[in-house]
Amino acid sequence: MSYRAPVPEMLFTLRHVAGLDSVDPDDAEAILSEAGRIAAGVIAPLNRVGDRHGTPFAEGRVTTPPGWREAYRTFTEGGWNGLSAEADHGGQGLPKLIEAACTEMWNGANLAFGLCPLLTQGGIEALAAHGSDDLKARYLEKLVSGEWPATMNLTEPQAGSDLALLRTRAEPAGNGTYRITGSKIYITYGEHDLADNIVHLVLARLPDAPAGTRGISLFLVPKVLPDGTRNDLRCSGIEHKLGIHASPTCSMAFGDDGGATGWLIGQENKGLACMFTMMNAARLNVGLQGVGVAEAATQRALAYAQERRQGKAIGAAEATSPIVAHPDVQRMLLTMKAYTAAARAICYLTAAALDASKGPEGQPALDRASLLTPVAKAFATDLANEVTSLGVQVHGGMGFVEETGAAQLMRDARILGIYEGTNGIQAIDLTARKLPLNGGATARSQIAWMRRAAEGLLKAGDPAFGHMAARLRDGIGSLDRATSHQLAALRSNRPEAALAGATPYLRLFGLTLGGACLARSALAANAALKAGETDPAQAARIALARFYAENLLTAAGGLEQTVVAGGAFTDDATLALAV
Amino acid sequence: MSYRAPVPEMLFTLRHVAGLDSVDPDDAEAILSEAGRIAAGVIAPLNRVGDRHGTPFAEGRVTTPPGWREAYRTFTEGGWNGLSAEADHGGQGLPKLIEAACTEMWNGANLAFGLCPLLTQGGIEALAAHGSDDLKARYLEKLVSGEWPATMNLTEPQAGSDLALLRTRAEPAGNGTYRITGSKIYITYGEHDLADNIVHLVLARLPDAPAGTRGISLFLVPKVLPDGTRNDLRCSGIEHKLGIHASPTCSMAFGDDGGATGWLIGQENKGLACMFTMMNAARLNVGLQGVGVAEAATQRALAYAQERRQGKAIGAAEATSPIVAHPDVQRMLLTMKAYTAAARAICYLTAAALDASKGPEGQPALDRASLLTPVAKAFATDLANEVTSLGVQVHGGMGFVEETGAAQLMRDARILGIYEGTNGIQAIDLTARKLPLNGGATARSQIAWMRRAAEGLLKAGDPAFGHMAARLRDGIGSLDRATSHQLAALRSNRPEAALAGATPYLRLFGLTLGGACLARSALAANAALKAGETDPAQAARIALARFYAENLLTAAGGLEQTVVAGGAFTDDATLALAV
């Protein structure tokens, strides 16, 4: 069973939930269908060999698995690397929304493969937004085409979530370049054989820089210098990881021989802002990785459940039924499918806000994207862990055997909640930085958007919706009150009460927003059926939205209680953890 | 950081939650302390080598990792294999409760190692309860000492959860023995070099047996026959698995040369009853495996969080704080610790019911054990998956690197919800077989036990309890109503509505029962403090119980809604899953 891109479902979500209207429907379908063919036909077949082969490291060189170089060439030559980059830089100039669907596909097919273009995209965003004209002229087209992939060099052994502790140094060389020295760890695709050059974006400190995060600058440090010589940097080792074995996670040594040559991106000591440009793009894309791997796990589990026969279902004629006929297995599969659909909708909604921020709506849309990004990243990747684990469970004993493939998806997915800012960091970002945007108005406006979905359900009043409207209304009420609590706690003299509830608050936000998205999907499907459409996918969308509301969104009330009254632990956590 | 047996916490739970009173406190402490030394000093150090080395298979032979033979000898020679077996058979005659704490330790130290005695214990139970005197005389002492470990041969490729589909055949040989032919898969420790003989318990069909599960018989089929010759059985391969790499998972071929010699255990065609004897013991023990691995993950995460410094906590004096000072990390650690404590208490409670069933209480206690067993198995192992995954998360990027060890615990734990009856099967068992026991009276009586804990909290009325009483009362109310719903649905003409809610119902049962157990723990701790005790562990117990009630037990209301109103999906699951 190989990955198949769910193009009709993607198109429906793009149009009816995220509101794609800038691309002709036929064009969108043509692009997604072609991307689906590449994902399923070229990238997915390499997923298993990538897991088994890994990326052997010897003498500073990293070898990608058999077939990866050819697949990467097909991918870049098809122009898929720079979908949303500006045409001026060799990109396709397509909306982020279209790109989001494609990113989901590459990663649904093969998470380890999808990481390479994902990081390059972050590099493109940072360079396009903050790079000098000269630097852009030299590097941007190569990044957009994918001929030279980019990396993000942030983490050091002592500096993970806390970048204030960075030690890598950059000294002005006098000729407009800088000499970079230091060690970085966990550098994804820091070294490999997919391309002739690799463009490292490196956070480092200037000699006179202030301490902390206000003294960090961003540098472009290529593996091969413009004159064709090797730069003074090398991969010093790779990690042995739980998953994404085919994505080399490198330790990088800069400046063994006096300093790697780098060029400043943006202003001195303003590296953090540049980094957030690439980080925000990367965070949404990691959310989309979660959607992709959840979709892959769901397809695989469903196919197995339709084939494997065990036990006789109630009312079945035959002695043994396919396990998909058993209610408990249905619950697992519907949970997988509903969570995947909700995570997809939230990620697409975030991409749509980014697109809208470049149009007449401007800043409010950008604020909306800022609000939604941590939700898209953390909620989608938490769900990816749950969905891929359910995927193992549906397979029973077979799921624990590596050859089946379900376990790989679970292992691969486990990194998503950790990298590009752990999900705890996302939760703190949502509560402490994003909720206060415009005095809370950005969040309130998103809640109002959810409320309109609930009102739409009530107005339509179709019996097929079951308790969907009531559950969504309950969820929104919980989210609304929890939002007030978080905002008030931030303003109080006990801000730790807000931080204590940050993770359940993000879960509540994502869960409710997902419910509103699926309600919009159900409303559009209902309208289509009323208009005489007969596609069984429409009734399926309504059934799935109802399942989500009646079985998953039910967690909202408890999450509200936890956010509002659960934070007492900060007083005696030390006590409870000391023993 | 190695595993350390939490002996004081275990003793407290044994005494104040599960109600151990048949063993002198000093004796209990002495036994548990010595077991803790073996677990930490002998078994835990082999966990990592076991994961890396695995169990190479060649020419029908399985080699255990370096050091495992010696450790197994130390373990069996110390008499740890037969703790609860009767003294008549060479056992120690100790209560199940003491054995439960020790089982938790072996598995907290090393899940793959702990599996070998776990399966032997199932064999002991089945043979002691159903074997002929002759068979017992020949095999029971060897099993009890651990000199010959036992296996459970149930699964076949087409027969996993559905044993009705079994095909392995047993033909009477005329001399009181049977000739067994067939293939089994997923046989844990089916072949290895820890012992000179292995006692396989094999489910098979007699020639004239009725179809389905009423035609299954249980046979004892030793690797080495009483005359010293090899029996006609062999290991034909081992699986490449996600975790527990050091536990060989074997495919077994019986009867290549005409039939392996076996002896009937119990009556012909009554094998399923015998199997349930060993299965029930094994199910509780798998729950205890979950507790053990959750405890190990918690210890490891806590140690890391106390050492790793990132970010400045609110109000901290230094520039960077240990991450244990951050509220979001505290939430993860407290969740791990609270879930582990709840799962432990439920498993010990189940063991106590088994002990009580052999005393004056008799059948009602056995019914209680029957009710609690699926909860102990599934709730504890679901939590083990969640806790070990949180353990990875607390480590950040380090958690994804295999050398850290956190990822191994997550991989190892993943099997626990699958084997010995998937957790879906446990949920169906609880709803369809255990709730109806005595017309629901067994379940109601357990709920009344929980209610007394809530009343105790109200009566004590200590401010340190926070909202504990209210949340527990809410949870019990939800469980009570959901129980009524499940019982009514079973009796209705739509029993699938009960099965549809089986998994969230089991979760609600475990979650609420866990809350009641921790409430009892908090009450005992509170009484100790009131009596002048100054052990900081007592205040920690109260804080942990409060955290559980205010942050985790809050999920109860949503689970009730899901059980009661979420089952509509059985009408259109096919619809939603068809597209």
> Which pLDDT score is estimated for A576?
85
Neighbouring CB atoms inside 10 A of B26's CB total 8
Average pLDDT over all residues of chain A: 96
DSSP letters spanning A216-273: -EEEEEESB-TTSPBPSEEEEEE--BSS-TTS-EEEEEE-TTS-EEEEEESSTT-HHH
Residue A540 belongs to what H/E stretch? helix A536-547
Within chain B, all domains assigned CATH 1.20.140.10 are found at 276-313+320-421
What's the distance, CA A379 to chain centroid? 9
Tell me what percent of chain B is helix, strand and coil, each rounded to the nearest 5: 65, 10, 25
Average pLDDT over all residues of chain B: 96
CA-nearest residue of chain A to B550?
A: A566
d(CA B62, CA A110) in angstroms, rounded, equals 34
Neighbouring CB atoms inside 10 A of A529's CB total 17
The interface residues of chain A toward chain B in range 427-486, judged by CB-CB distance below 8 A, are 427-428, 466-467, 471
d(CA A507, CA A559) in angstroms, rounded, equals 8
The interface residues of chain B toward chain A in range 173-232, judged by CB-CB distance below 8 A, are 185-186
Select which of A9, A420, A455, A560 is catalytic: A420
d(CA A155, CA A161) in angstroms, rounded, equals 8
CA quadruple B283, B289, B292, B296: dihedral sign: negative
**Mutate which of B400, B467, B534 to test chain A, going by most A C-beta atoms within 10 A?**
B400
Task: Give pLDDT tens digits along chain B (579 positions).
Answer: 589 999 999 999 999 999 988 889 999 999 999 999 999 999 999 999 999 999 999 999 999 999 999 999 999 999 999 999 999 999 999 999 999 999 999 999 999 999 999 999 999 999 999 999 999 999 999 999 999 999 999 999 999 999 999 999 999 999 999 999 999 999 999 999 999 999 999 999 999 999 999 999 999 999 999 999 999 999 999 999 999 999 999 999 999 999 999 999 999 999 999 988 888 889 999 999 999 999 999 999 999 999 999 999 988 999 899 999 999 999 999 999 999 999 999 999 999 999 999 999 999 999 999 999 999 999 999 999 999 999 999 999 999 999 999 999 999 999 999 999 999 999 999 999 999 999 999 999 999 999 999 999 999 999 999 999 999 999 999 999 999 999 999 999 889 999 999 999 999 999 999 999 999 999 999 999 999 999 999 999 999 999 999 999 999 999 999 999 998 888 877 778 877
Q: What sections of B235-326 are H helices per DSSP?
A: 271-307
Task: Assess whether pLDDT exceeds 90 at residue A568.
Answer: no
> Which pLDDT score is estimated for A160?
92
The amino acid at residue B362 is G
d(CA A199, CA A193) in angstroms, rounded, equals 13
CATH of B150-267, picked from 1.20.1640.10, 1.25.40.340, 2.40.110.20, 1.10.40.50, is: 2.40.110.20
Report which DSSP code applies to A353. Answer: H
In this complex, do A546 and B554 lie within 8 Å of one another by their Cβ atoms? Answer: no
A27: CB partners within 8 A, 6+ apart? none
Q: What sections of B358-467 are H helices per DSSP?
A: 363-394, 397-400, 406-413, 423-428, 441-460
Within chain B, all domains assigned CATH 2.40.110.20 are found at 150-267
C-alpha dist (Å) from residue B96 to A151, A313, B353, B364, B421: 56, 37, 9, 17, 21
- Pull the structure tokens for residue A309: 């026969």
> Which pLDDT score is estimated for A281?
86
> Which pLDDT score is estimated for B277?
84
Please name which of B379, B418, B346, B320 lies closest in space to residue B504, comparing C-alpha atoms.
B379
> Which pLDDT score is estimated for A321?
95
pLDDT, one tens digit per residue, over A41-66 is 999 999 999 999 999 999 999 999 99
**Phi, psi dihedral angles at B241 (to 5 degrees):** -115, 165
Residue A517 belongs to what H/E stretch? helix A502-530
Q: What sections of A7-148 are H helices per DSSP?
A: 7-16, 25-38, 47-53, 68-77, 96-109, 111-130, 133-145
Q: Is ipTM strictly over 0.95?
A: yes
CA distance to partner chain A, nearest, from residue B173 (Å): 32
Residues of chain A in contact with residue B419, where contact means CB-CB under 8 angstroms, are: 397
CA distance to partner chain B, nearest, from residue A507 (Å): 13
In this complex, do A239 and B324 lie within 8 Å of one another by their Cβ atoms? Answer: no
CB pairs under 8 A between A and B: 280
The interface residues of chain B toward chain A in range 372-411, judged by CB-CB distance below 8 A, are 385, 389, 392-393, 396-397, 399-403, 407, 410-411
CA distance to partner chain B, nearest, from residue A404 (Å): 10
CA-nearest residue of chain B to A309?
A: B158
Q: Which has more pLDDT, A578 or B457?
A: B457
In this complex, do A385 and B389 lie within 8 Å of one another by their Cβ atoms? Answer: yes
**Phi, psi dihedral angles at A379 (to 5 degrees):** -65, -45
CA-nearest residue of chain B to A393?
A: B418
Within chain B, all domains assigned CATH 1.10.540.10 are found at 7-145
Neighbouring CB atoms inside 10 A of A531's CB total 8
Report which DSSP code applies to B421. Answer: S
Task: Assess whether pLDDT exceeds 70 at residue A1.
Answer: no
In this complex, do B310 and A568 lie within 8 Å of one another by their Cβ atoms? Answer: no
CA distance to partner chain A, nearest, from residue B241 (Å): 4
Contact in structure between B150 and B201 (CB atoms under 8 Å): yes
- The predicted model gives A189-201 an average pLDDT of 98
CA quadruple A36, A40, A41, A42: dihedral sign: positive
In this complex, do B328 and A428 lie within 8 Å of one another by their Cβ atoms? Answer: yes
pLDDT tier at A21, thresholds 50, 70, 90: confident
- Pull the structure tokens for residue B454: 């809530």
A35: CB partners within 8 A, 6+ apart? A5, A80, A101, A102, A105
Please name which of B169, B228, B176, B220 lies closest in space to residue B199, comparing C-alpha atoms.
B220
In this complex, the residue of B422, B423, B577 whose CB is nearest that of residue A333 is B577
> Which pLDDT score is estimated for B20?
87
d(CA A128, CA A138) in angstroms, rounded, equals 12
The interface residues of chain B toward chain A in range 237-276, judged by CB-CB distance below 8 A, are 239-243
B20: CB partners within 8 A, 6+ apart? B14, B28, B95, B97, B98, B352
d(CA B117, CA B149) in angstroms, rounded, equals 7
Contact in structure between A74 and A35 (CB atoms under 8 Å): no
Report helix, strand or coil for A182: strand
Contact in structure between B334 and A569 (CB atoms under 8 Å): yes
> Which pLDDT score is estimated for A493?
87
Lowest mean pLDDT among A235-244, A271-280, B234-243, B465-474: A271-280
d(CA B131, CA B124) in angstroms, rounded, equals 10
In this complex, do A414 and B392 lie within 8 Å of one another by their Cβ atoms? Answer: yes
In this complex, do A410 and B415 lie within 8 Å of one another by their Cβ atoms? Answer: no
In this complex, do B419 and A397 lie within 8 Å of one another by their Cβ atoms? Answer: yes
Strand pairing report for A169-172 and A61-62: unpaired
Q: CATH 3.30.1550.10: does it fit domain A150-269?
A: no
Report helix, strand or coil for B79: coil
In this complex, do A572 and B539 lie within 8 Å of one another by their Cβ atoms? Answer: yes
In percent, how much of chain A has pLDDT > 70?
Answer: 100
> Which pLDDT score is estimated for A20?
87
In this complex, the residue of B302, B315, B496 whose CB is nearest that of residue A314 is B496
- The predicted model gives A71-75 an average pLDDT of 98
Contact in structure between B151 and B187 (CB atoms under 8 Å): yes
| Residue count (chain A) | 579
- The predicted model gives A230-258 an average pLDDT of 98
CA angle, residues A336, A340, A342, in degrees to nearest 5: 120
In this complex, do B422 and A556 lie within 8 Å of one another by their Cβ atoms? Answer: no
DSSP letters spanning B464-502: GGTTHHHHHHHHHHHHHHHHHHHHHHHHSS-THHHHHTH
B420 is catalytic: yes
CA distance to partner chain B, nearest, from residue A197 (Å): 26
In this complex, the residue of B331, B337, B396 whose CB is nearest that of residue A500 is B331
**Phi, psi dihedral angles at B321 (to 5 degrees):** -115, 155
Report helix, strand or coil for B396: coil
Select which of B99, B125, B295, B420 is catalytic: B420
d(CA B231, CA A273) in angstroms, rounded, equals 72
CA distance to partner chain A, nearest, from residue B27 (Å): 23
A74: CB partners within 8 A, 6+ apart? A38, A42
Please name which of B106, B111, B43 lies closest in space to residue B385, comparing C-alpha atoms.
B111
d(CA B510, CA B499) in angstroms, rounded, equals 17
DSSP letters spanning A489-516: HHHSS-THHHHHTHHHHHHHHHHHHHHH
Report helix, strand or coil for A100: helix
- CB-based contact, A369 to chain B, within 8 Å: no
Report which DSSP code applies to B191. Answer: S
d(CA A17, CA A382) in angstroms, rounded, equals 22
pLDDT, one tens digit per residue, over A339-376 is 999 999 999 999 999 999 999 999 999 999 999 999 99
Residues of chain B in contact with residue A427, where contact means CB-CB under 8 angstroms, are: 328
Please name which of A14, A41, A23, A35 lies closest in space to residue A105, comparing C-alpha atoms.
A35
The interface residues of chain B toward chain A in range 321-350, judged by CB-CB distance below 8 A, are 324, 326-334, 337
The CATH superfamily holding the domain A7-145 is Acyl-CoA dehydrogenase/oxidase, N-terminal domain (1.10.540.10)
Residues of chain B in contact with residue A326, where contact means CB-CB under 8 angstroms, are: 424, 499
pLDDT, one tens digit per residue, over A400-434 is 999 999 999 999 999 999 999 999 999 999 999 99
- Pull the structure tokens for residue B224: 């080495």
CA distance to partner chain B, nearest, from residue A554 (Å): 5
Residue B132 belongs to what H/E stretch? none
d(CA A287, CA A523) in angstroms, rounded, equals 25
**Phi, psi dihedral angles at B252 (to 5 degrees):** -120, 135
Lowest mean pLDDT among A72-76, A152-156, A471-475, B160-164: B160-164
Q: In CATH, what class is B276-313+320-421?
A: mainly alpha
Q: Which long-range contacts (CB under 8 A, 24 or more apart) does A497-500 make?
A: A497/A567, A497/A570, A498/A431, A498/A432, A498/A567, A499/A428, A499/A431, A499/A432, A499/B314, A499/B326, A499/B327, A499/B328, A500/A566, A500/A567, A500/A569, A500/A570, A500/B327, A500/B328, A500/B330, A500/B331
